Amino acid sequence: MIYQNHPKQLISVDCVVFGYQNEQLKLLLFERDLEPAKGELSLVGGWVNENKSVEDAAAQVLLHLTGLSDIFLKQVSVFSKPDRDPGGRVISVVFYALINIEDHNQKLVDEFGAKWWPVDQLPNLVFDHNLMVEKALEKLQQLATYELVGRDLLAEQFTITQLRNLYNSIFQREFDPGNFRKKILSLKAMDRLDIKDTSESKKGAFYYQFKSQEEINISERIVKL
Amino acid sequence: MIYQNHPKQLISVDCVVFGYQNEQLKLLLFERDLEPAKGELSLVGGWVNENKSVEDAAAQVLLHLTGLSDIFLKQVSVFSKPDRDPGGRVISVVFYALINIEDHNQKLVDEFGAKWWPVDQLPNLVFDHNLMVEKALEKLQQLATYELVGRDLLAEQFTITQLRNLYNSIFQREFDPGNFRKKILSLKAMDRLDIKDTSESKKGAFYYQFKSQEEINISERIVKL
DNA sequence: TCAAAAGTGTTTTTTATACACCCATGC
DNA sequence: GCATGGGTGTATAAAAAACACTTTTGA
């Protein structure tokens, strides 16, 4: 090691884990298991050590929580105010993750006492975690503006209405059903199946399924502003 | 300090400093003054210590270079592959900065041997610095899509054509003069002065000046895709 | 039978693009 | 007088929004 004389810092990752259930965008909170603020609600986090990138560290946190190693992850930003954590100087790199609640709920709830909270009625979180969530949601909106978000949040098969409800909750506004359908279908990013979902309407709505990532090529804005 | 037993890491900031000169978007490069790769070209960087946020650390680097303390700075992302720096494990938080070349060139060139390079013909840089530049440019384009970029790069007074040339070089494409002018003026973000610039055309072009940040409220996309 | 979601079609408005054309002036 | 960038206007195309209307079927 050449850079001998420079002070080192503690680095952590914190993950804003988004899920979608009952037509609500939710995120995963935990009761903090160490001091300070033990028992209060917080995001999941982990330490970054010598031989891992921050992406790997975040992926490892998610792997530990869900048993899955291919979870959708994006960097939000770095939080590094010297006094942001009363327990000491910790620089935190924040990520957001998208996961399917139904698939992973059991392990999460049973083993870790995790709780899903609707993003539009979050409680107070420890330290600067509320700010992290806010930034993460902005990034998610940014992503959903130019890319189709849903593969990681919805079931394998889903209706256009379910996708629209997801977009409604990401952007906290109501998209027009007819216009949303036309816009989404024009992207040619999904295949219509021959099966219908009859649970949400009497008429029944066709199920769709995302094409493989390679077949999808979206080069236009999906959501205006 | 409560978090005793966790390994700490070396943290640095690296700055992609953009400037604009001769109708070219340029960035500031330095000859690295320590091993490894001493003498090769790199971005400016600095270490992050205990009592400073990464934003403060980046601002300090820029202050040192230019003497200015209010430089435009945005976070790009974290680069943290364990082997990204052959000199040891360093996690780098990358920022980009926008500065006016004419205002600060002397100090930069004289004291630090800095060199301005057109972004579209960059040499090989040390480590992962080329990748950092690429990401920074993407972020700058993202910013310029929904906000008017120019205040920090152009002179106080500038013509629409100069602003268009800046946008041309940020997006590496040619905007239509008539349409660009209409779009920009519709934002009502600048005041027209009664002075003309006659250096770039015989007819002369009116100078404009940005309104104060508070008066500017852009709620639409400026550049399509 | 009728409420309610699914799905299609039509109209209007807004935004983007292409490009014609006049202006002013230094050479 | 003509080439050059400055500046305005117009026609067209593309994208977004508003909304009417038809279909289907369980309650």
* Tens digits of residue pLDDT in B76-108: 999 999 999 999 999 999 999 999 998 876 776
Task: Quote the CA–CA distance of B116 and B101 in Å, as a whole number.
Answer: 9
Taking only the tens place, the pLDDT of each residue in A171-207 is 999 999 999 999 999 999 999 999 999 999 999 999 9
Cβ–Cβ < 8 Å for B15, B96: yes
Instruction: Return the residue matching tokens 């010598």.
Output: A50
Taking only the tens place, the pLDDT of each residue in A21-49 is 999 999 999 999 888 889 999 999 999 99
- Which of A8, A52, A221 has its CB closest to that of B8? A8
Chain B residues with beta carbon closer than 8 angstroms to that of A221: 221, 225
Which helix (H) or strand (E) element contains residue B17? strand B10-21
At residue B99, the pLDDT reads 94
The letter for the amino acid at B121 is Q
What CATH code is assigned to B10-145? 3.90.79.10
Cβ of A75 and B77 within 8 Å? yes
Q: For A40-92, where are the alpha helices, taking DSSP H only?
A: 54-66
CATH 3.90.79.10 fits A10-146, yes or no: yes
Low-confidence ranges of chain B (pLDDT < 50): none
Q: Where are the domains of chain B?
A: 10-145, 160-215
- Fold (topology level) of A160-215: Arc Repressor Mutant, subunit A (1.10.10)
Q: Which residues touch strand C (CB under 7 A)?
A: A 159-161, 177-179, 181-182, 196, 200-206; B 176, 178-179, 182-183, 198, 202-204, 220-221, 224
Say if residue A169's pLDDT is above 90: yes
Cβ of B80 and A54 within 8 Å? yes
In the predicted model, what is the mean pLDDT of chain A?
Answer: 94
Taking only the tens place, the pLDDT of each residue in A100-151 is 998 876 777 778 888 999 999 999 999 999 999 999 999 999 999 999 999 9
Q: How far is the CA of A224 from the C1' of D14 (A)?
A: 14
- Please tell me the distance in Å from B167's CA to the nearest CA on chain A: 20
At residue B135, the pLDDT reads 98
Q: How far is the CA of B203 from the C1' of C21 (A)?
A: 16
Task: Quote the CA–CA distance of A93 and A79 in Å, as a whole number.
Answer: 6
Nearest nucleotide from residue A202 CA, by C1' atom: D25
Q: Which residue has the higher pLDDT, A34 or A165?
A: A165
Neighbouring C-beta atoms of residue B39, cutoff 10 Å: 11
The letter for the amino acid at B144 is A
At residue B96, the pLDDT reads 98
Answer yes or no: is B198 CB < 7 A from strand D.
no
Beta-bridged to residue A46, according to DSSP, are: A13
Cβ–Cβ < 8 Å for A98, A18: yes
CB contact set of A193 (below 8 Å; sequence gap of 6+)? A157, A206, A207, A208, A209
CB contact set of A49 (below 8 Å; sequence gap of 6+)? A57, B6, B7, B9
Which helix (H) or strand (E) element contains residue B57? helix B54-66
DSSP, residue by residue, B102-136? HHHHHHHHHHH--EEEEGGG----STTHHHHHHHH
**pLDDT-above-70 percentage for chain A:** 98
Residue A1 pLDDT class (50, 70, 90 cuts): low
Residue A159, both tokens: 């209706």
